[in-house]
Amino acid sequence: MMRKLGVGLIGTGFMGKAHAMAWRSAASFSGEVQPVLISVADIDGVAAENAAAKYGFQRWTSKWQDLIDDPEIDVISITSPNRFHAEQSLAALAAGKHVHCEKPLAPNSDIAEQMYRAAEKAGVVTQVGFNYIKNPLLKHAQTLIAEGEIGEITGFRGIHAEDFMVSPQVPWSWRLDPTGGAGAVADLGSHILGIARFLLGPVTELFADLDTVVKQRPERAGSSVMKSVEVDDIARLTVRFARGCAGYIEANWVASGHKMQLGFEVTGTQGSLIFNQERFNELQLFRFDKNEASNGFRTIVAGPDHAPYGLFCPAPGHQIGFNDLKTIEILEFIESIQSGKAAGPDFKEAYEIQRLVDASLMSSRERTWVSL
Amino acid sequence: MMRKLGVGLIGTGFMGKAHAMAWRSAASFSGEVQPVLISVADIDGVAAENAAAKYGFQRWTSKWQDLIDDPEIDVISITSPNRFHAEQSLAALAAGKHVHCEKPLAPNSDIAEQMYRAAEKAGVVTQVGFNYIKNPLLKHAQTLIAEGEIGEITGFRGIHAEDFMVSPQVPWSWRLDPTGGAGAVADLGSHILGIARFLLGPVTELFADLDTVVKQRPERAGSSVMKSVEVDDIARLTVRFARGCAGYIEANWVASGHKMQLGFEVTGTQGSLIFNQERFNELQLFRFDKNEASNGFRTIVAGPDHAPYGLFCPAPGHQIGFNDLKTIEILEFIESIQSGKAAGPDFKEAYEIQRLVDASLMSSRERTWVSL
Amino acid sequence: MMRKLGVGLIGTGFMGKAHAMAWRSAASFSGEVQPVLISVADIDGVAAENAAAKYGFQRWTSKWQDLIDDPEIDVISITSPNRFHAEQSLAALAAGKHVHCEKPLAPNSDIAEQMYRAAEKAGVVTQVGFNYIKNPLLKHAQTLIAEGEIGEITGFRGIHAEDFMVSPQVPWSWRLDPTGGAGAVADLGSHILGIARFLLGPVTELFADLDTVVKQRPERAGSSVMKSVEVDDIARLTVRFARGCAGYIEANWVASGHKMQLGFEVTGTQGSLIFNQERFNELQLFRFDKNEASNGFRTIVAGPDHAPYGLFCPAPGHQIGFNDLKTIEILEFIESIQSGKAAGPDFKEAYEIQRLVDASLMSSRERTWVSL
Amino acid sequence: MMRKLGVGLIGTGFMGKAHAMAWRSAASFSGEVQPVLISVADIDGVAAENAAAKYGFQRWTSKWQDLIDDPEIDVISITSPNRFHAEQSLAALAAGKHVHCEKPLAPNSDIAEQMYRAAEKAGVVTQVGFNYIKNPLLKHAQTLIAEGEIGEITGFRGIHAEDFMVSPQVPWSWRLDPTGGAGAVADLGSHILGIARFLLGPVTELFADLDTVVKQRPERAGSSVMKSVEVDDIARLTVRFARGCAGYIEANWVASGHKMQLGFEVTGTQGSLIFNQERFNELQLFRFDKNEASNGFRTIVAGPDHAPYGLFCPAPGHQIGFNDLKTIEILEFIESIQSGKAAGPDFKEAYEIQRLVDASLMSSRERTWVSL
């Protein structure tokens, strides 16, 4: 028996389009629960109308509250500017709707805490759009670690580096507004912190050094009026995990030449794993082997052995893309709604990640370890 | 003014699903011409009905001829088994419909010729699904070559290798039926031959050595009755291009460890290009440089500078996937219909590729060069 | 006019052999100053005698003091166990001989300081065997940075990771003796700290977290008596350079799968450099370029453009090996003696590196930043 | 009991120096048989005198015949210009001396045949300097193949590509003199043909297409008088091996960007091997595995498990260099002399390789398969 799931989308920018397409692709893949695109909201009504036509929503509105009030809508997908995430999420939760919200969930962990507690109270399912974590090979890495394939874990090194902020001509923007939270450690660091937790579990202590490399930027594009930058361009974190091992995590948006270096190395007593999002259909695995003369790091290529890759292609090596990760995210959210068990990262997990971001700010400011 | 384009799809297997999803994604991206999913046909009516529901077709049928007769349908997308491609294409062309057909177009160049001539006569637009050729970085490679960035071309080495036929337990199948054409040189070789033509233009002469590595296979899965294999597992071609340079092309479906090694190296007097589909969001470029001490092959990472990557993601390094290549294929087909100018590979181009496959069979059999 | 340089070697183990061969190879390459192998000392007289015959020393002795007293010997090469480095170096310096000593120079910076001051007083040339730093491509990297090719430096990430201590069966040894200094941070960290200083200059502040992963080891090979390990297996350092940028440095001898991962990434406002000793004939360079669509990290391959590679081979891409780095080290030492200007790393530099190691121990113990 | 082996060297150019250093390094490594550098000959007496001093020969001469007549000399190392190889080798063989000769042994297989028959008659040991084949990882590859680790061999692809001839400004030279033999197929092709035979055994049939890309070159550097080029810049060979499989081999000295791309891929029914001299301390191995989800090509890093790497360094991943390959060559030659059993490639093997070069010329000229 097929069950319909009414979807309301807030926002029609890049992530709005990505969500709309992911919901539609999910409809082709999903099982009993079939998403139906009900309505799309954008403060710019024309944008909303166009989006409805392009992506196949039944109706549109310029007031997001209409979606909250719409009884046909079961789930709200939030892709509005960050500063609206809390208000919209809380309204949707109060109306008993499931919520899928883009990251960052909130500018700090206090607000994130309110949000996850509201979700718990509402008894609905939540998910936060950490995209990259839905890679089938990351799931494989998690399984290999959990099953002890690389032995007891001895260390972690993780990085999320891009270079879109390296030019001093990139103007001041909401990304640099300290009232919205931290800089690179929030924007990029949250991804690698989430992956660290996904693979190795909770972080109990961290030491951070936050560095602002470009000290001032044009107030707006082309302006000669300069504005001071207060948030971090590079964050360097030494972390200790509850499981006993330690590691290093870096977030860096001035890493010239790197477009999407979201990578890690996990070492264990029996082997190691290496991953880099720039080649995200590959995972490197080393395991000690009796025949040392023929051993080495091997390159695992994504394929149908790594679910749900097979949904997208029946043959290995053909590669899934960034938007397919978003589709997997939505598919898992649908399954969560069906099962009532969050696939994650949910609001609670986003809160835990936000706590690490907040702790990084405090540690760097006070030049000391911070316990969590 | 938006113009609707009625789409009829034949086949609901893996490629049917891929087409359906690509048409739908294309609807989100395309401009004035908006595809509308009218009807889907499958000899198995239940499959057709399910596909209609999943992918959003307005109706379904178990008779593909219904699509030909449907006045709302402007274009037929063919994903049926290879042996039906000619009959269905010719019927659609006769009805004045645009045709998008999966490769191989035909088992030999005589039939392919009939088909492309029928298309010319009908005055419609055709396209054949060579997937990989729609990669934005291949377009970039083509442009670099055409603009002389690597100088005068001196050589080409191309390969399409996979390993799905290496196990002698893989049973005999339609792929091995010599009445359907050649083996690896048709199935895989057509891709790399198409890319060679795309980058360097026509081949005027070739010498081929076709090799059957697994001499017999079970009649069907698990059977102990063995059947002789007559088609090639590996094809090795020495080729000469009209532009004056020569090269080597290999098709190989017993290449252990390779899942999707569709790659090439083009060398010129001023530089070189290297590509491999297993990392298809990367292109290697070498150009001679005044500062030799700091020169070397550089890795170009796909991004919005390589249209139409930007349709899928606004940031470089995030990677498009296999299914996105199919969406680009459909988008370009829609543009072709709009402009009346084939984006290719059209039926004529598929015929030219088929001629190279046919010539390979003849060359290997007669152990001599064959002119085209 | 050729000038002879009498060489005395202490020690005939692996590094003794490496030195002997490097001195001999240097003789084939060097110019006016021609090294002559005078005498070799080993407490095991038979080993000394054999080494003399194999490597072509004129005489041998079981007493290293004989070399100090030998008027034909101008330079002493020290490859004895670490605990003898100070005594032998000081004796050689007191006798006015030039000294080439294997790393580590000393177990702590106090002793290292005595040694470098003794060298200054003696007015002779010293050098410490940091091997890897003599790579022509590291010199190239240093030049690129110094000339501003990658802009203002914004960050550094360096690592020296191997896996020879990962097995808990590796017994306790001098490497783990805390009276000899630290663990991985001294043994491996000194290499990457030296490279960091070589490329970017002095470190002014550091924060370290030292981790002992294998808590106890067999007293000796095969023994069931276990001995506690007090030194670090992994050291994680956050550092600040005098030039204004910051970075991360890791030393790790339990990094499963890595045999010689001595690598770094330097990022600047105009580009980046990436290096890994496991492919030490390659250097990756990224620089922002007007033509972004064809830009990317390029792989520079070592060749005659990177002096003194050309001494070893007239053609690029042929690759020099580990022992060639040792030969370059000796060649530069000979040039230093000739010019009176240390090529480095000399005793003073080894002292500076040792200070960083000492500071790491203190920082980790006190859980605080340490200024230098 | 140590036995002395008197060495005479002809030639003091680049390869002369490489031989001298290799003989000296070999002295440090070898066992019972200890090479002693007796005399060096160069038509330029001053060069000979300098070489004697630098490399430690006891005497020198401007007449190579002096070495032949010298009773203290047991082995002649020939590094003179190619056109002297035959005369000098034959004289040395006639005098009962062992001969180590640089490649190419001879301009054609007739002369090579005379030479190997003379060696057989003389009952001495010969070796030809194919350098790269002495890589410990190639020996490992050979062993893996021989032991069936990758199953029955199904195909080979080999290439030796460099770019030192790509500029049309590179003048005409002895390399291009057709009386000295072929072009790239002789100069570079002989290396990859030798490796193909080393790994897979004899070639029984080949088809070649030889291509001259730069049709004319300055008579000499800077000259405006142009001279026609008659030899191949690129050679493309389809080959069939006696063991039943086939393959492709390319020699190319106009391959822009490649400095030392001497590589191959061997595929078998159970796995594959990939190698490239540009990273010659690495070998890629794929083997089918029960756990497909964690399988992939693995990178084997050279180490002491791959004899005789351990002679050069006790730790893996430190890398040997090009000159170390030459030392291994000499060490194996010394062992051959001691055992009376050629380590190869000896004159007979060089003759077999030369036959393949000759057959390539004939095949390309006659546009037909040639049997061997």
CB C99 within 8 A of CB C350: no
Separation of alpha carbons A182 and B89, rounded Å? 59
Nearest to D359 by CA among D189, D250, D207: D207
Contacts of C258 in chain A (CB under 8 A): 272
> What are the tens digits of pLDDT across the range B45-101?
999 999 998 888 999 999 999 999 999 999 999 999 999 999 999 999 999 999 999
B209 to D268: CB separation less than 8 angstroms, yes or no:
no
Separation of alpha carbons C339 and C333, rounded Å? 10
Contacts of D27 in chain C (CB under 8 A): 54, 56
Nearest to B284 by CA among B137, B76, B128: B137
Q: Residue A30 pLDDT more than 80?
A: no
Separation of alpha carbons D20 and C74, rounded Å? 26
Task: Give the pLDDT confidence score for residue D30 in this predicted structure.
Answer: 67
> Which candidate in D214, D261, D267 is best for mutational testing of the B interface (most B CBs within 10 A)?
D267
Q: Give the best-scoring range by mean pLDDT among B176-185, C172-181, D97-106, D179-188.
A: D97-106
Average pLDDT over residues A210-220: 96
Nearest by CB: A234 against C155, C272, C369: C155
Looking at chain D, the whole-number percentage of residues with pLDDT higher than 70 is 99
What residue in C sits closest to B298 (Cα-Cα)? C298
Show the tokens assigned to A350.
């986003």
Name the phi and psi angles at C151, rounded to 5. 80, -155
CB C346 within 8 A of CB C358: no
Tell how strand C246-252 and strand C216-218 pair up: unpaired
Q: What residues contact A346, with CB distance under 8 A and at least 6 apart?
A: A116, A119, A125, A126, A127, A128
Separation of alpha carbons C7 and A355, rounded Å? 62
Could you give the C-alpha distances from B15 to B103, B326, C276, in angstroms and in order?
A: 11, 10, 43
Task: Give the pLDDT confidence score for residue D181 in this predicted structure.
Answer: 78
What do you get for the CA distance between the two ends of chain A, in Å?
46
What residue in A sits closest to B301 (Cα-Cα)? A259
> Which candidate in D154, D237, D261, D264 is best for mutational testing of the B interface (most B CBs within 10 A)?
D154
Could you give the C-alpha distances from C18 to B270, C52, C74, C325, in angstroms and in order?
A: 42, 14, 19, 10
Q: What residues contact B143, with CB distance under 8 A and at least 6 apart?
A: none
Q: Compute the count of residue pairs across chains A and D with CB atoms less than 8 Å apart.
A: 46
Average pLDDT over residues B145-155: 98
Nearest by CB: B267 against D236, D254, D271: D254
Separation of alpha carbons A19 and A39, rounded Å? 13
> What are the tens digits of pLDDT across the range D203-248?
999 999 999 999 999 999 989 999 999 999 999 999 999 999 999 9
Show the tokens assigned to C222.
């095969």
> Which candidate in B144, B145, B152, B154 is best for mutational testing of the D interface (most D CBs within 10 A)?
B154
Separation of alpha carbons D334 and D315, rounded Å? 25
Task: Give the pLDDT confidence score for residue C308 in this predicted structure.
Answer: 96
The amino acid present at A151, given as its one-letter code, is G
Cross-strand pairs, A203: A241
H/E run at residue A366 = helix A347-366
Strand order in the sheet with D3-10: D59-61, D33-41, D3-10, D75-78, D98-102, D126-129
Please state which CATH class domain C133-318+347-371 belongs to.
alpha beta
CB B200 within 8 A of CB B243: yes
Across C223-326, the runs of DSSP E, i.e. the strands, are: 226-228, 234-241, 246-252, 261-268, 271-276, 282-287, 296-301
Nearest to D127 by CA among D160, D94, D78: D78
Cross-strand pairs, B240: B205, B246
Nearest by CB: B322 against A28, A258, A318: A318
Contacts of B295 in chain C (CB under 8 A): 298, 300
Q: What residues contact C72, with CB distance under 8 A and at least 6 apart?
A: C6, C38, C39
Contacts of C168 in chain A (CB under 8 A): 269
Distance from CA of A139 to the nearest CA of C (A): 21
CB B247 within 8 A of CB B156: yes
Contacts of C322 in chain D (CB under 8 A): 312-313, 318-321
Could you give the C-alpha distances from A308 to A3, A29, A305, A314, D22, in angstroms and in order?
A: 22, 10, 8, 10, 56
Task: Give the pLDDT confidence score for residue A282 in this predicted structure.
Answer: 98
Show the tokens assigned to C23.
């001195």
Separation of alpha carbons B292 and D22, rounded Å? 30
Task: Give the pLDDT confidence score for residue B181 in this predicted structure.
Answer: 78
Residue with tokens 């490992």: D140
Distance from CA of B157 to the nearest CA of D (A): 10
A162 to B317: CB separation less than 8 angstroms, yes or no:
yes
CB burial of residue B341 (10 Å; 0-12, 13-18, 19+): exposed
Nearest by CB: A293 against D292, D295, D305: D305
Nearest to A209 by CA among D355, D368, C363: C363
D213 to B157: CB separation less than 8 angstroms, yes or no:
no
Separation of alpha carbons B179 and B361, rounded Å? 13
Q: Residue B112 pLDDT more than 60?
A: yes
Nearest by CB: B256 against D236, D256, D268: D268
Contacts of D140 in chain A (CB under 8 A): 293-294
Q: Residue D110 pLDDT more than 90?
A: yes
Distance from CA of B296 to the nearest CA of C (A): 5
Q: What residues contact D341, with CB distance under 8 A and at least 6 apart?
A: none
Q: How many residues does chain A have?
A: 372
DSSP state letter for A16? H
> Which candidate in D210, D214, D248, D368 is best for mutational testing of the B interface (most B CBs within 10 A)?
D248
D298 to A293: CB separation less than 8 angstroms, yes or no:
no
B255 to D267: CB separation less than 8 angstroms, yes or no:
yes
> What are the tens digits of pLDDT across the range A46-101?
999 999 988 889 999 999 999 999 999 999 999 999 999 999 999 999 999 999 99
Contacts of D164 in chain C (CB under 8 A): 315
A319 to B317: CB separation less than 8 angstroms, yes or no:
no
User: Which residues on chain A place their C-beta less than 8 Å from a C-beta of chain B?
Assistant: 14, 17, 20-21, 24-25, 27-28, 54-56, 162, 164, 258-261, 277-281, 301, 303, 312-324
Neighbours of A (≥3 Cβ pairs closer than 8 A)? B, C, D
Task: Give the pLDDT confidence score for residue C30 in this predicted structure.
Answer: 66
Cross-strand pairs, D298: A298, D285
Q: Which fold has domain D3-131?
A: Rossmann fold (3.40.50)
A162 to B301: CB separation less than 8 angstroms, yes or no:
no
What residue in A sits closest to C370 (Cα-Cα)? A367
Residue with tokens 């010689």: C260
> Which candidate in D291, D297, D298 is best for mutational testing of the A interface (most A CBs within 10 A)?
D298
Q: Compute the count of residue pairs across chains A and C with CB atoms less than 8 Å apart.
A: 113
Residue C32: HSE in the Cβ half-sphere, 13 Å Cα cutoff: 7
B155 to D288: CB separation less than 8 angstroms, yes or no:
no
C245 to A213: CB separation less than 8 angstroms, yes or no:
yes
Task: Give the pLDDT confidence score for residue D1 in this predicted structure.
Answer: 54
A296 to C257: CB separation less than 8 angstroms, yes or no:
yes
Q: What residues contact C143, with CB distance under 8 A and at least 6 apart?
A: none
H helix intervals, chain B: 14-29, 45-55, 64-69, 85-94, 109-122, 136-146, 184-187, 189-200, 309-312, 322-339, 347-366
With bands split at pLDDT 50, 70 and 90, how would you rate the model's confidence at C140?
A: very high
Question: How big is the CA angle at C203 (ends C198 and C204), to the nearest 5 degrees?
Answer: 155
A207 to C246: CB separation less than 8 angstroms, yes or no:
no
H/E run at residue C17 = helix C14-29
Q: Residue C31 pLDDT more than 80?
A: no
Cross-strand pairs, B8: B39, B76
D144 to A294: CB separation less than 8 angstroms, yes or no:
yes
Distance from CA of A43 to the nearest CA of B (A): 20
Nearest by CB: C271 against A246, A256, A297: A256
Region of A222 (left: φ > 0; alpha: ψ -120 to 50; beta: rest) is left
Separation of alpha carbons A262 and A259, rounded Å? 9
Show the tokens assigned to C304.
């005659």
Chain centroid, CA B217 distance in Å: 27
B207 to D238: CB separation less than 8 angstroms, yes or no:
yes
Q: What is the full DSSP assignment across B112-127?
A: HHHHHHHHHHHT--EE
> Which candidate in C210, C248, C254, C368 is best for mutational testing of the A interface (most A CBs within 10 A)?
C248
Average pLDDT over residues D144-166: 98
CB C156 within 8 A of CB C201: no
DSSP state letter for D251? E
Per domain, the residue ranges of chain B are: 3-131, 133-318+347-371
ipTM above threshold 0.85? yes
Q: What is the full DSSP assignment across B300-357?
A: EEP-TTSTTHHHH-SSTTS---HHHHHHHHHHHHHHHHHHTS--S--HHHHHHHHHHH
Separation of alpha carbons C151 and A167, rounded Å? 11
What residue in C sits closest to B286 (Cα-Cα)? C298
D150 to B256: CB separation less than 8 angstroms, yes or no:
yes
User: Which residues on chain B place their C-beta less than 8 Å from a C-beta of chain C?
Assistant: 140, 144, 149, 285, 292-301, 303, 305-306
With bands split at pLDDT 50, 70 and 90, how would you rate the model's confidence at D360?
A: very high
Across chain C, the runs of DSSP E, i.e. the strands, are: 3-10, 33-41, 59-61, 75-78, 98-102, 126-129, 153-161, 203-211, 216-218, 226-228, 234-241, 246-252, 261-268, 271-276, 282-287, 296-301, 370-371
Mean pLDDT of chain A: 95
Distance from CA of B105 to the nearest CA of C (A): 34
Distance from CA of C347 to the nearest CA of B (A): 31
Distance from CA of D2 to the nearest CA of B (A): 47
SS3 B280: coil
Nearest by CB: C295 against B149, B294, B298: B298
